[in-house]
């Protein structure tokens, strides 16, 4: 095998299942006992990969069914791989249900990814981030005032800061990246949180429900059906077909997706109107995206090729940054509160 010839250690291949049985067993054992209060969470979150590191070192491979997967725990090597200047590394196929959460730059490849990244980068330059400090200050002051109003006459109160930091994140992102109001941002955040739960649930269910529906009717041999599901395209086909079934939760997922897009489209049109009359024509993220869209429309009018983006692309980038920042920023705030 090529990986072994290149010096990578790993487990021996086992027919069909590979390491999946051991991986499920490791998860079951890790979650069967309470976790200590520590930052060393790898043994809990990814127990089998943690065991692989202890056994085979920081660079090894495991078998996901019939497919080998390389594990790299070396930070410098991971950074070099993710820079991906050679173009040899491509993103894995993802479940089509993920499109209901976000696509944007995170799913692009090659030249298209490079152009989009080049377009977005200026919004996150250090000088631009420094200009956002006054807005951060306003949002933080509003948060502290709200906390002060909650304090009782005795001078104390019990407060769950996690939802408070989520609200703070929504306020900051809405003001700095998109120039929208806190209420608009809050509604988008709440819908995305619900959508994330629904998408994760569907991703877990679809492989079992659709397997019986689509594959076992075609293949009498369960092993053949299992092998088909292990292939990326087969799993994506299952998920794709499952999401079109008229279940209550599928309908809710589609409604949330259309509602988020409608709200973002309203924010975009407000921004476009203000840019046309010379207001808010700054270089925040949404302005940069819309400037590229304007260039794209102008190029199409002149029948010229352009690397700009469409309004639908702008909506997907907005979904991506709302979702990514809303998930991560509160986690960074929480330890230092």
Specify whether the CB–CB gap between 319 and 312 falls below 8 A: no
Are 301 and 155 within one domain?
Answer: yes
Specify whether the CB–CB gap between 8 and 54 falls below 8 A: no
Which residue has 């649930």 as its token pair?
201
Are 161 and 79 within one domain?
Answer: no
Q: Which residues contact 202 (CB under 8 A, 6 or more apart)?
A: 97, 239, 242, 243, 249, 250, 253
CA Rg value for the chain:
24
Domain count, the chain: 2
Are 81 and 139 within one domain?
Answer: no
The reply to whether 114 falls in a domain is: no
The reply to whether 278 falls in a domain is: yes
Final residue before a domain boundary, out of 41, 63, 89: 89
Supply the DSSP string of 221-240, one letter for each residue.
Answer: -HHHHHHHHHSHHHHHHHHH
How far CA 302 is from CA of 296, 298, 307, 308, 327, in Å, comes to 10, 6, 14, 14, 41
Are 281 and 177 within one domain?
Answer: yes
**Beta pairing class for 59-64 and 67-72:** antiparallel
* pLDDT < 50: residue spans in the chain: 206-232, 330, 335-336
The reply to whether 113 falls in a domain is: no
Q: Output the pLDDT for position 107.
A: 78
Are 85 and 131 within one domain?
Answer: no
Are 271 and 329 within one domain?
Answer: yes
DSSP letter for 12, please.
P
The reply to whether 111 falls in a domain is: no
> CA-CA distance, 277 to 165, in Å (whole number)?
35
N- to C-terminal Cα separation, the chain: 51
The reply to whether 190 falls in a domain is: yes
Final residue before a domain boundary, out of 89, 110, 132: 89
Helix, strand, or coil (residue 69): strand
Are 53 and 198 within one domain?
Answer: no
Q: Output the pLDDT for position 279.
A: 63
Are 221 and 174 within one domain?
Answer: yes
Q: Output the pLDDT for position 333.
A: 52
Final residue before a domain boundary, out of 72, 89, 106: 89
The reply to whether 95 falls in a domain is: no
Among the listed residues 27, 2, 26, 23, the one whose alpha carbon sits nearest the alpha carbon of residue 14: 23
The range of the structural domain enclosing residue 36 comes to 2-89
Instruction: Tell me the pTM.
Output: 0.65
Are 321 and 173 within one domain?
Answer: yes
Structure tokens given for 178: 């998109």
Are 134 and 257 within one domain?
Answer: yes
> CA-CA distance, 232 to 96, in Å (whole number)?
11
How far CA 20 is from CA of 64, 99, 217, 235, in Å, comes to 6, 26, 24, 16
Backbone dihedral region for residue 175 (phi beyond 0: left; psi -120 to 50: alpha; all else: beta): alpha
The reply to whether 100 falls in a domain is: no
The reply to whether 133 falls in a domain is: yes
Specify whether the CB–CB gap between 175 and 182 falls below 8 A: yes
Are 79 and 151 within one domain?
Answer: no
Q: Where are the alpha helices (DSSP H) in the chain?
A: 2-5, 20-30, 42-45, 47-56, 75-83, 110-120, 126-131, 133-150, 161-176, 182-210, 222-230, 232-242, 248-276, 285-301, 311-333
Are 268 and 174 within one domain?
Answer: yes
């Amino acid at each position: 095998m090529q990986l072994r010839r290149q010096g990578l250690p790993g487990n021996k291949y086992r027919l069909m299942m590979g390491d999946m049985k051991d991986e499920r067993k490791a998860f079951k054992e890790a979650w069967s006992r309470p976790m200590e209060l520590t930052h060393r969470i790898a043994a809990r979150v990814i127990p089998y990969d943690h065991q692989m590191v202890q056994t085979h070192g920081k660079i090894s491979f495991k078998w996901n069914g019939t497919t080998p997967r390389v594990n790299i725990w070396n930070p410098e090597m991971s950074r070099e791989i993710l820079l991906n200047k050679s173009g040899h590394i491509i993103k894995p196929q993802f479940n089509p249900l993920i499109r209901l959460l976000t696509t944007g730059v995170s799913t692009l490849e090659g030249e298209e990814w490079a152009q989009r990244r080049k377009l977005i980068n200026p919004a996150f330059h250090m000088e631009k981030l420094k200009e956002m400090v006054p807005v951060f200050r306003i949002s933080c002051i509003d948060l502290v005032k709200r906390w002060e109003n909650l304090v009782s006459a005795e001078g104390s109160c019990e407060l769950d800061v996690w939802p408070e930091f989520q609200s703070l994140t929504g306020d900051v992102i809405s003001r700095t990246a998109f120039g929208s109001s806190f209420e608009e941002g809050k509604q988008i955040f709440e819908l995305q949180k619900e959508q994330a739960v629904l998408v994760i649930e569907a991703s877990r269910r679809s492989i079992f429900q659709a397997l019986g529906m689509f594959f076992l009717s075609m293949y009498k041999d369960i092993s053949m059906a299992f092998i088909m599901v292990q292939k990326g395209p087969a799993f994506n086909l299952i998920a794709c077909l499952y999401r079109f079934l008229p279940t209550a939760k599928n309908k809710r997922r589609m409604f949330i997706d259309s509602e988020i897009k409608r709200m973002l489209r309203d924010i975009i049109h407000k921004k476009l109107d203000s840019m046309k009359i010379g207001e808010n024509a700054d270089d925040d993220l949404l302005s940069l995206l819309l400037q590229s869209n304007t260039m794209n429309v102008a190029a199409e009018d002149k029948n010229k090729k352009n690397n700009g983006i469409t309004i639908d692309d702008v909506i997907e980038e907005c979904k991506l940054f709302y979702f990514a920042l809303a998930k991560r920023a509160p986690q960074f705030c929480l330890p230092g509160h």
